[in-house]
């Protein structure tokens, strides 16, 4: 092989054969720098793809139960309503009440095991990201925009909102015009 072929394939300008060796070295340095830059960019892109794939897999694992857990929440609500409706148990209903209470406790334990947490914002400031306002009522003794009643608890799954809490929010008392 002649030198002309090898220099052509190495990216050196063959017309610059009689050119200054310093200029050829500088051209080679620039080509090397450009190749190193491309290699670093490709490596960074590959690392980003790996991180995105890992994050997607982690999110799929964490939130795979989202629809299933959301479907179970009405069952939990009904168990809580059943206990509330029983009131003070009589001798005849004591065993039934204990059974419902044990069922509710085991149900809550399973939900907690899979990081389903309840959102019970009574007394907290209304947060539209976690709460759904169903009504506003005047409550002079309570700060405006505070949750005064929870109509239905909300739930999160691994920190992501599964169902917002349905709440009643305190509104400010109407201002009385002092000049009237």
Domain that holds residue 95: 66-114
Q: What is the pLDDT of residue 65?
A: 86
Regarding whether 127 and 162 lie in a shared domain, the answer is yes
5 lies in some domain: no
R_g of the chain computed on alpha carbons:
34
Q: Where are the beta strands (DSSP E) in 12-146?
A: 116-119, 131-138
127 shares a domain with 102: no
pTM above 0.75, yes or no: no
Average pLDDT over residues 82-97: 86
Q: For a pLDDT cut of 90, what percent of the chain falls above it?
A: 54
- Using the 8-state DSSP alphabet, how is residue 173 labeled? P
- 121 shares a domain with 107: no
Res 173: pLDDT? 74
């Amino acid at each position: 092989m002649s030198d002309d072929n090898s220099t052509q394939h190495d990216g050196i300008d063959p017309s610059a054969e009689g050119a200054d060796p310093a200029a050829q070295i500088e051209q080679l340095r620039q080509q090397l720098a450009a190749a190193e830059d491309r290699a670093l960019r490709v490596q960074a892109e590959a690392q980003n793809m790996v991180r995105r794939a890992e994050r997607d897999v982690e999110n799929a694992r964490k939130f795979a139960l989202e629809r299933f857990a959301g479907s179970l929440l009405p069952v939990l609500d009904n168990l809580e309503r059943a206990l509330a409706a029983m009131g003070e148990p009589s001798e005849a209903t004591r065993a039934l009440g204990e059974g419902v209470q044990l069922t509710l406790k085991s149900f809550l334990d399973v939900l907690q095991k899979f990081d389903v947490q309840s959102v019970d914002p009574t007394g907290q400031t209304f947060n539209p990201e976690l709460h759904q306002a169903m009504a506003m009522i005047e409550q002079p003794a309570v700060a405006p925009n505070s949750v005064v009643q929870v109509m239905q608890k909300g739930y999160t799954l691994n920190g992501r909102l599964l169902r917002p809490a349905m709440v009643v929010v305190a509104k400010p008392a109407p201002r009385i015009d002092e000049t009237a």
